[in-house]
A and B are shown apart, each in its own frame.
Chain A
Amino acid sequence: MSKSDLTRRGVMKAGAAGLAVPTIFTAGSAAAYTNEPTGGSVTLGFNVPQTGPYADEGNDELLAQQLAVEHLNGEGDGGCLNTFTSKALQGNGILGKKVEFVTGDTQTKSDAARASAKSMIEKDGAVMINGGSSSGVAIAVQGLCQEAGVIFMAGLTHSNDTTGKDKKANGFRHFFNGYMSGAALAPVLEKEYGKDRRAYHLTADYTWGWTQQESIAAATEATGWETVNNVLTPLASTDFSSYIAPVLNSGADVLVLNHYGGNMVNSLTNAIQFGLLDKEVNGKDFKIVVPLYSELMAAGAGENIKGVFGSMNWNWQLQDDGTKAFVKSFGEKYGKPPSNSAQTCYAQTLLYADACERAGTFNPCGVVEALEGFEFDGLGNGPTLYRAEDHQCFKDVLVVKGAENPTNAYDTLEIVEITPRAQVEYAPDHPMFAGGDLGSCNPGA
């Protein structure tokens, strides 16, 4: 009599385990990797905020992503394909397959963003997810893509954690981060406002705010500034008067607003209303700093941003060939200059496509290998490195300030300095980025 290992309890356990495994891990098991394209086309997933308070920024990202798809398929004027130093892309899609795309709505909520990314991967067969406008969302979606076995090309995410403690092998960030903002801004602030300054921080209470505040405080303290206080403000805050009123009385002479989006618009507007910039403290003119700027949000703050310093990943006013090509393509198609979140999504889409071409496959592990340590130029940010150790791009950072005399609706920010890449580099094991593990690439399937 043969002995079977099967027991009723064992079968139940196995069944339950099988049910518990998301379909994302079981679908397409015959393929070499998740969503291996088999027809004449390949599908990219653009996951951006289409509703909610960041919808305009998401829409700008989507316009840039659509433009990138056009250029990849050989339509339009080719944009940065003409200036990109890698010449692998020929304008005939990716690996000869026509590029198609689906879109998802992150709503700037982690759970909604994961759900829309999951849907694009499972239902639409997306091989890559790109976009987004929040670090909380980016980290959530990056984790999902790692589990699912697809590549995540992050959009606007500025928290150190995205390529720090939450880094993943399948995730790549072109955008800069809080540490880089601090490293670029601090010397300019020291030059403009002096060494002897006392800073008061208002910080959005989530991953991005925390890491940016830590970075800016460390960088400014290294130049001699003192951090008087750091007050965490709830992300849902709309009126910051209660937080701003005590600032002058604290002995601080600089207010650092670690806020983004609607928070930034409102806190800056409130600070201007309180007349902080007209005051004198410790014998010095009071100053406000907004470490992370976005053109769209700058427009929302109106003339309140005049002369206020901050940093950016990229700006349409740069004069390099890559920027000119992208601004021309985008401007002629949509009648406005692109934002820096649009540029990062455009660049990320081209970088992914180029990596597939160079790797000769859509297999995430091949793409990861092609992107790690990849040096390139011609996409608008100058010579850039995709560092292998943490999948963070290293490139020049822009220090900007609110335009004093804007000549048109788009002339909200002026470039003060292009901080060279060497000044914003850091070791992969830097304490602000410690605690994570890149792991190994996951091809899924």
Chain B
Amino acid sequence: MDAFIIQILNGLDKGSAYALIALGLTLIFGTLGVVNFAHGALFMIGAFCAVFLQQVLSISTVAIDETQKDFLGNPLKVETPYVENWFGPELGGAIIDWSVPLALIFAIPVMIAVGFIMERGLIKHFYKRPHADQILVTFGLAIVLQEVIKYFYGANPIPTPAPDVFKGSFDFGSLLGFDPNVIIYPYWRMVYFGFSMVIIAGIFAFLQFTTFGMVVRAGMVDRETVSMLGINIDKRFTMMFGIAAAVAGLAGVMYTPINPPNYHMGMDFLVLSFVVVVVGGMGSLPGAVLAGFLLGILESFASTTWATTTIPGINQIIIYLVAIIVLLTRPRGLMGRKGVMED
């Protein structure tokens, strides 16, 4: 029972990341009809927004300390962040400590701008081209973006810790009557899950309860009719691209304390997120979210010692196995709509 709960919990944070990326992918696919292979790169750029802000906040004044030596035996250069000079060591230190949550504020305009430039600058030229062309151009763009990040930040992962207050883990087991340490779950992963829930709810509410969202939903169903009513649907879809980019970026920002970001992290999530979209049903937002959590949890279960000893390698193939089964039994995915990618 305890192992069961542990893996459910583990699946939730992984599922959160899948769901957020898949949600953005589905938004773009549903509105613009573009299969965006650069979406993982947007997740990665979001993560590097957190790295960038952490580095900006850590820009320091340098003072030579004759009493200490560096690795070559020269007097040590002692660095003090400007933020600490300006706001005092305590408040300055707290600002640096909270750089990841603060990066959310920074990442939103950056990601919307990146999404806007990406869509207006490149992807819009491929709307009327075959899906294969769209995949090639967006995949190429993803490679370019990750190489740009590698050029500036190198290939090594960069530690981007969560605020001190979120370090450590919560003992769920004690709460449920188990022995101490049997079911533990890191605080930051709980934050990540909660954060993803808020974002997902926000997106659904935005599409459901605003006029803008209503027009976008109408456009997703019948773009031509909406255009004929005199609504500039392209403009709204471009804005949706920006919003989808922001969702991926925010997911990336909040993921940085879970695993130190590197330039390749987007690719690690991209393929799995596409499987999530296909399993959930192309163009279905609830399907993307459902499949994200479902596959995250299944992947967690497949990584248990019991599963890997019973069926060696199951942790590597579980997601694809589920995808095959779902597509065989429900060709449109769990919640797919008729007519999407079927013309």
Q: Which residues of A contact B (CB under 8 A)?
A: 51-57, 229, 231-232, 234, 236, 238-239, 241-243, 245-246, 248-249, 262, 265-266, 269-270, 272-275, 278-279, 281, 296-297, 299-304, 316-317, 327-328, 331-332, 337, 407-408, 410-411
| Minimum C-beta distance from A415 to chain B (A) | 14
A248 to B17: give the CA distance in the assembly, Å.
25
Interface membership of chain B positions 126-169, coded 1 if the CB is closer than 8 angstroms to chain A and 0 otherwise: 00000000000000000000000010001111110100000111
Please tell me if the beta carbons of B159 and A304 are within 8 angstroms of each other in the complex: yes
Given known contacts A297-B156, A337-B71, A242 and B10 CB-to-CB distance under 8 angstroms? yes
Contact B259 A270 (CB under 8 A): yes
Q: Is the CB of B6 within 8 A of A299?
A: no
User: Given that A53-B155, A262-B157, A296-B156 are contacting pairs, would A242 and B260 also be in contact in the complex, using a CB cutoff of 8 Å?
Assistant: no
Contact B3 A249, beta carbon cutoff 8 Å = yes
The answer to whether A249 and B259 have CB atoms under 8 Å apart is no
- Find out whether the CB atom of A274 lies under 8 angstroms from the CB atom of B184: yes
Question: Residues of B contacting A297 with CB < 8 Å?
Answer: 156
- Give chain A residues whose Cβ lies under 8 Å from the Cβ of B155: 51-56
**CA A139 – CA B260 in complex, angstroms?**
30
Q: Is residue B226 within 8 Å, beta carbon to beta carbon, of the partner chain? A: no
CB distance from B42 to the nearest CB of A (A): 17
Does B76 contact A265, Cβ atoms closer than 8 Å?
no
CA distance A300 to B264 in the complex (A): 14
Query: Considering the complex, which residues of chain B in the window 230-271 have a beta carbon less than 8 Å from any beta carbon of chain A?
Result: 257-260, 262, 264-265, 268
> Residue on B with the closest CB to A50?
B155
Q: Within 8 Å CB of B308, what residues of A?
A: 231-232
If A273-B258, A408-B70 touch, does A238 touch B156 (CB 8 Å cutoff)?
A: no
8 smallest CB-CB distances across A and B, nearest first, come from: A302-B159, A242-B303, A55-B155, A275-B169, A273-B186, A275-B168, A300-B157, A245-B6
**Closest CB-CB distance, A433 to chain B, in whole Å?**
26
Which of B71, B265, B315 contacts A327 (CB under 8 A)? Answer: B71
Please, which residue of chain A has its CB at the minimum distance from the CB of B168? Answer: A275
- The docked-state distance in angstroms from the alpha carbon of A248 to that of B189 is 18
Residue of A nearest to B2 (CB): A249
Given A302-B260, A327-B71, A275 contacting B184 (CB threshold 8 A): yes
Are B7 and A269 closer than 8 Å at their CB atoms?
no
Whether a CB of chain A sits under 8 angstroms from the CB of B64 is: no
With contacts A278-B168, A301-B260, A407-B68 taken as known, whether A249 is within 8 angstroms of B181 at the C-beta atoms is yes
Chain A nearest CB: distance from B260 CB in Å? 6
Query: What are the residues of chain B within 8 A of A57 when measuring CB–CB?
Result: 156
Contact, CB under 8 Å: B157 / A331: no
Residue of B with least CB distance to A234: B316
Selected from A229, A231, A279, A300, the residue in CB contact (under 8 A) with B156 is A300
- Among A51, A266, A304, A408, residue most surrounded by chain B Cβ atoms (within 10 Å): A408
Give the distance in Å from the alpha carbon of A229 to the alpha carbon of B304 in the complex: 12
Chain B residues with Cβ below 8 Å from A266 are 157, 259-260
A262, A279, A332, most chain B CB atoms within 10 A: A262
Query: How many angstroms between the C-alpha atoms of A411 and B9 in the bound complex?
Result: 36
Q: Which residues of A contact B3 (CB under 8 A)?
A: 246, 249
**Complex contact A248–B14 (CB within 8 A):** no
Contact A239 B2 (CB under 8 A): no
B284 at the interface (CB under 8 A from A): no
Question: Considering the chains assembled together, what is the distance between the CA atoms of A408 and B73 in angstroms?
Answer: 13
- Point out the residues of chain A lying under 8 angstroms from B300, CB to CB: 241-242
A53-B155, A265-B259, A281-B181 known, 8 other contacts, Cβ within 8 Å: A55-B154, A56-B156, A234-B315, A246-B305, A269-B159, A275-B169, A300-B260, A407-B68
The answer to whether A248 touches B161, judged by C-beta atoms less than 8 angstroms apart, is no
B13 nearest in chain A by CB position: A241
User: What string of 1s and 0s marks CB contacts (under 8 Å) between B1-42 and chain A?
Assistant: 011001101100110000000000000000000000000000
A sample of 19 inter-chain contacts (CB < 8 A) reads: A55-B150, A232-B308, A236-B268, A238-B268, A241-B189, A242-B303, A242-B304, A242-B315, A266-B260, A269-B159, A270-B258, A270-B259, A272-B167, A273-B167, A279-B181, A299-B159, A300-B156, A303-B159, A327-B72
Across-interface contacts of B182 in A (CB, < 8 A): 248-249
Indicate which residue in B2, B68, B159 contacts A301 across the interface (CB closer than 8 Å): B159
| A299 / chain B contacts, CB cutoff of 8 Å | 156, 159
Distance, CA A299 to CA B154, complexed state (A): 13
Flag whether B43 is at the interface (Cβ < 8 A): no
Interfacial chain A residues near B303, Cβ < 8 Å:
242-243
Is there contact, CB below 8 Å, between A300 and B14? no
With A269-B259, A273-B189 already in contact, the answer to whether A246 and B161 are too (CB < 8 A) is: no
A327 CA to B71 CA in the complex, in Å?
8
The answer for the CA separation of A245 and B260 in the assembled complex, in Å, is 19
* Complex alpha-carbon distance, A249 and B180, angstroms: 9
Task: Provide the bound-state CA to CA distance between A328 and B71, in Å.
Answer: 9
Chain B residues with Cβ under 8 A from A265's Cβ?
157, 259-260
